[in-house]
């Protein structure tokens, strides 16, 4: 499962202290756009953390070959930020999943990619539980930590994390 993360999902997973765990799921490969690292990471610590994961080969950084016309078409049509627009374009170009916790970006990506190709932090937690990389309690703690640190995630209960993907 190739997944392009936007900034809010990447930051939520860092804040929930589960990014490295999710990368241990055998079927998951994480990608981010080149511009995300340069422009979207909130602070130096997060940037250094992600840079280290890239250097170690745990996150792949990709440079899009999307045309400027396609990028601006997406940007104008959906009125999204640069990071969300880039991530949708990358997901489309590389036929991978789009991961975002931004409601508007998810709706726009579903139009471009199809609903089945759009996921977020909660689905990544669920996948990690199903693959036995995280326990239910670890996933729940991560969810609560993400919310505590400002993530706009829907209210769930632990049954959600046990469900199939």
pTM of the model: 0.92
* Cβ atoms 46, 8 nearer than 8 A: no
pLDDT of residue 43: 79
Give residue-wise pLDDT tens across range 61-118. Answer: 987 777 888 888 999 999 998 889 989 999 999 999 999 999 999 999 999 999 999 9
Three-state SS sequence of 31-96:
EEEHHHHHHHCCCHHHHHHHHHHHHCCCEEEECCCCCHHHHHHHHHHHCCCHHHHHHHHHHHHHCC
Provide the pLDDT for residue 27: 93
- How far apart, in whole angstroms, are the C-alpha atoms of residue 16 and residue 145? 5
pLDDT at 127: 96
Phi first, then psi, for residue 72 (nearest 5°) are: -70, -30
Could you read off the pLDDT of 143-160 as tens digits, one per residue?
Answer: 999 999 999 999 999 999
Q: Tens digits of per-residue pLDDT, 7-58?
A: 999 999 999 999 999 999 999 999 998 877 776 666 788 888 898 999 999 9
């Amino acid at each position: 499962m190739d997944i392009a993360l936007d900034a809010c999902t990447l930051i939520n997973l860092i804040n929930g202290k589960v990014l490295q765990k999710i990368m241990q799921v055998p079927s998951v490969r994480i990608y981010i756009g080149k511009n995300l690292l340069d422009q979207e990471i909130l602070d130096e610590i997060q940037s250094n953390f992600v840079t280290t994961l890239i250097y170690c080969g745990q996150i792949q950084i990709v440079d899009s070959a999307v045309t400027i016309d396609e990028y601006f078409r997406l940007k104008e049509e959906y009125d999204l930020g640069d990071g969300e627009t880039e991530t949708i374009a990358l997901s489309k170009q590389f036929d991978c999943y789009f991961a975002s916790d931004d409601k508007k970006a998810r709706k726009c990506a579903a139009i471009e990619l199809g609903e089945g190709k759009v996921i977020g932090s909660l689905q990544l937690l669920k996948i990690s539980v199903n693959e036995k990389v995280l326990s239910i309690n670890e996933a729940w703690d991560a969810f609560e930590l993400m919310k505590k640190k400002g993530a706009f995630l829907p209210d769930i209960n632990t049954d959600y994390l046990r469900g199939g993907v």
